[in-house]
Amino acid sequence: MKDHRRRKGEHGMEKTIGHKQMLKLFLTIALPVALQNLLTYAVGLMDSIMVGSLGEVQLSAVTVAGQPFFLFMMCMFGLSSGACVLISQYWGKKDKDTISRIFGIVLRIAVLVGVGVTAVALLFPHGVMGLYTNEQPVIEYGVQYLRVVAFSYIPFAFTNGYLTCVRSVERVKIAVVTYSISFVVNVFFNYMFIFGKFGAPALGVAGAGVGTIIARAAELVIVLLYALKKETRVTLKWGYIVKNEKWILHDYMKFSMPVLVNEMMWAVGSSATTAILGRMSVSAVAAVSIVSTAFQIVTVFIYGAASATLVIVGKYIGERKFALARKSANWLVVANIVIAAATAAVFLLLKDTFMGFYTITLETREALDMTMVVAAVIILFYAVNMACIVGVFRGGGDTVFAMLLDIIAMWGVAVPLGALGAFAWGLSIPLVYFLLRSDEVVKAFVCLVRMKSGKWLRVVTRNADGTGGAGPMPPESSQVLE
């Protein structure tokens, strides 16, 4: 009896220690990632404020011209997030060599894609702009911006790929340092070249592109110095970038391609929503541009929490702690919902402040006010989806299901309803915006059902020599999960 009480007490102590470690790891990753994204989106906010002071047409032009970069950024996010599926579980095994080789694959593909996107933007700027809007003044201003900012894509590819992957080995401070410096550099040089300060020419919208290039160059220098001089968990080698083990490349493609397709189809869907809004009116583009910037800023901790969830769940699976992986997943989804409620409240409290930053017409302001309210509601569903799809499902290796859910909800629900609302039903901007984000509502309910089933938990690692294979959770672990 005494031994039974002792074992029970020890089990309770282990459980408490596990929860404390999980909470510490969660905050250690989530807070810096949130700050990193806050800095990134703050740059976007400052850009839109400075460019917006030139007029609504210029603001709309830069917003539309930013769509190629948005697609590119989501491609980079897909490539690196797919790698994080593997890296998080290999980090649980402490297999640093395989992790370094995965980094090499990501960086090689990222730079090659960056070269391709840069070429398209430079060679066909009018064609790119014409995909999103038929407003000629918007196209002309957008081309001015696109021809400059395209040179920032390649350094961004390397930097973003590295910093996204390195967080899966619990290195997050370097991203905060990098983006803090980048924020200051970007704002300073944007101000200088947009308005012609400190002896520089006043380049208008093109000046925003110049500031972005300088900031991306600063990020690249910082990351290279860190990777080559400071980092010990990941080895950056030229040989790992140009050549990799076939089995590592195979597993990377197997688990990252669904993530890449997922992000790209979601991004193309988001670009389709921009195209829909662009054909409604300049006010629609301007209103949703402001809402999107505000949305991104206030939801940074939701994204940070989802990133932390991926690392925690993947690490526990890599350590073969399947019960802890599942329990932590449930706990972290609940935590995301709580965070979302607080975020939505902050969003509503700050909506008038956000609107006050911009010089916009009365029509745009009225549409913007109600669209902000709609966005606050969407935040609650968005948090569930981020926690499950980006966090739990990817950390658990369930990338195919996450891909199918995102694609079907976006292209089967949101885009068709948004197009009907805008062009067939003649709905207002706030209602069209809700329809264009209605996929978040659908996905949230499906995600919770999938979470409960436990089918998302998969092992994606191999032995050091490449033997073994990825697959579902081992049958012998099922008793632990009861």
pLDDT tens for 269-324 read 877 877 787 777 777 877 877 888 788 778 888 888 888 898 889 888 988 888 88
**Domain annotation covers residue 12:** no
In this predicted structure, what is the pLDDT of residue 469? 56
Q: State how far the Cα of 26 lies from the Cα of 204, in Å rounded to an integer.
A: 42
Query: What's the burial of 201, exposed, middle or buried (CB within 10 Å: 0-12/13-18/19+)?
Result: exposed
Compute the average pLDDT of residues 6-17: 44
**Domain annotation covers residue 1:** no
Which amino acid, 344?
A
Query: Which run of H or E residues covers position 459?
Result: strand 458-459
Cβ–Cβ under 8 Å, residues 371 and 288: yes
**Domain annotation covers residue 83:** yes
**Domain annotation covers residue 2:** no
**Domain annotation covers residue 480:** no
The total domain count for the chain is 1
Query: What's the burial of 336, exposed, middle or buried (CB within 10 Å: 0-12/13-18/19+)?
Result: buried
**Domain annotation covers residue 4:** no
**Domain annotation covers residue 365:** yes
Q: Averaging pLDDT over each range in 76-85, 100-109, 267-276, which range is the top one?
A: 100-109
Among 190, 237, 258, 245, smallest CA distance to 402 is for: 258
Give the C-alpha distances (Å, rounded to integers) separating 108 from 105, 215, 236, 244: 5, 22, 12, 11
Which amino acid, 209?
G
For tokens 């939701």, name the residue.
Answer: 302
Helix, strand, coil percentages for the chain (3-state, nearest 5): 85, 0, 15
Residue 349: give the domain boundaries. Answer: 18-473
Q: State how far the Cα of 260 lies from the Cα of 251, in Å rounded to an integer.
A: 14
For 30-93, the DSSP string reads: HHHHHHHHHHHHHHHHHHHHHHHTT-HHHHHHHHHHTHHHHHHHHHHHHHHHHHHHHHHHHHHH
pLDDT(48) > 80: no
How would you classify residue 428: left for phi > 0, otherwise alpha for psi between -120 and 50, otherwise beta? beta
| pLDDT digit string, tens, across residues 447-466 | 999 998 889 998 888 776 55
Give the C-alpha distances (Å, rounded to integers) separating 273 from 69, 115, 286, 410, 438: 16, 26, 13, 10, 12
Could you count the other beta carbons within 10 Å of the beta carbon of residue 122? 15
pTM: 0.75
pLDDT(43) > 90: no
**Domain annotation covers residue 8:** no
